[in-house]
Amino acid sequence: MCDSPPGNLSGEFRDRVVCVAGLGVSGPPVARALSGMGAHVVVVDGRTDQTARERAAELRTEGVEVALGGEELPPGSELVVTSPGWRPDSPLLVAAARSGIEVICDVELAWRLRPANQTWLAVTGTNGKTTTVRMLEEILRADGRAAAAVGNVGTPIIDAVLPGTDGRAPADILAVELSSFQLHWSATLRPYAATVLNVAADHLDWHGGMEPYARAKGQVYAPGTVRVTNQDDPWSRHLATTRGDSGAPLAGFSTNRPEPGELGLDAGRLVDRSFVSEPRTEAVELARVSEMAAADPHNVANALAAATLARSVGVSPEAVRTGLARFAPEPHRISRVATVETVDYVDDSKATNPHAAAASVASFGSVVWLAGGLLKGADVEELVRAAAPRLRGAVLFGQDRARLRSALAEHVPDAPVVDIPDTGPEAMGKVVSAAAELARSGDTVLLAPAAASMDMFTDYNERGEAFVAAVGGLAPSPPE
């Protein structure tokens, strides 16, 4: 269909000068791979902190040139492979564009280097990407496929398309998590099948607004790619028809009873009315919600997305059932931490935008909400308006807490709000203590920040761990 032969470019990198922009997660493995192909690699990063210095020192021992403390395009550069987080208006990328030098990201590079027999199933969206690709990986493996989940889920994608140092062959099929940043820098990517799970305001500061952010997501529906759409999300449907190939197959999923051509829910069962012989009359049961380890409403939607992608490559119903039963959610995703004096404490630090936080708050009846951080240009009015009936109170922290406080004052004026201005190591302890004072029997103290964490923490994982540690200081009893 669209699984076109790879570019087989590995030999074309010999003696070429390639700039790798960024020493983050993707930079070092890309630098090593290109250096191993004979390229002269120069890694550039404006940081000079200890982590950057340590990574630079390690790469230099492997023969890779590294320039720290600036963002200048290295002389003679013929290609730039940028880390996803580098904005298009950064000086190095602007200089490359002016000089006519191609800029790609690690995903585009991996796509060009992939083995001829490797199939990609791609997942993007504002929320649910990691969970969906992990579910998809479990389903594919249950069907006996040599599969790997890659992208922002642990395995660098460049490592998944090249033979291992031990000679191990790359996986036959990849469940690929893709961010809007990566899609922005991917020109020739053509997954076999792909989905946009949902689109809500996020990363608007990077993309310059909602429309360009959505367009970047929509690039996953490439020419020939099987279009898997979330029928419950207007943006997903819109992008599949406006950005996708109208001649490519279309399969939808929904948490409602499925129409012909869809997967959906029917009486607590995940049902397929798409990949069957007679979609108008035939329905195949794939799994029961009661058998799933992750059965929250948003995870059922993710399971349907994963099942649709899996069925597009011929995975059996039995494998879908087995894979979803095996799947276990990762930490900091609506994880119940403890129960203290009949109050539940739940960690959803991964709720890094308003859309994710709204789904989290909607999962509980009476909530003491812990929120704040970097909103990245996102609006919180709709989130607070929808959450208002469930909010007993809120504890706010982080750089953009004033915007949350303003929205709470307008939409939940009677709810008590505690403002924690501290940003040091003790801040989360103060947040949790304040929440414990507000909470009553039967409440849920919910960390669902609706914002990124980098104003106070390294990432959402560190923020979640700080919450877990602070709750531990309340002498909790284990959850049932």
Burial grade of 441 (CB within 10 A; 0-12, 13-18, 19 or more): exposed
Does residue 119 have a known ligand-binding role? Answer: no
The reply, when asked if residue 209 is annotated as ligand binding, is: no
- Please indicate if the annotation marks 377 as binding a ligand: no
Instruction: Give one word for 59, left, alpha or beta, with left for phi > 0 and alpha for psi -120 to 50.
Output: alpha
Confirm or deny that 129 is annotated as ligand binding. Answer: yes
Q: Which residues of 232-243 are buried (b: 16+ CB within 10 A; e: fewer)?
A: bbebbbebbeeb
Residue in this structure with the two tokens 């304040």, named with its chain if needed: 434
Structural contact between residues 230 and 254, judged by C-beta atoms closer than 8 angstroms? yes
Given CA atoms 402, 407, 413, 418 in this order, what sign does their dihedral have?
A: negative
**How many CA atoms, within 13 angstroms, populate the side-chain half-sphere of residue 421?**
0
Exposed/middle/buried for residue 139 (C-beta within 10 Å: 0-12, 13-18, 19+): buried
Q: What is the C-alpha separation between 131 and 297, in angstroms, rounded?
A: 13
Helix boundaries (H) for 219-366: 234-242, 297-312, 317-326, 354-361
472 is in an annotated binding site: no
* Residue 127 assigned as binding residue: yes
Residue 132 labeled ligand binder: no
Binding residues for ATP: 125-131
Known binding positions: 125-131
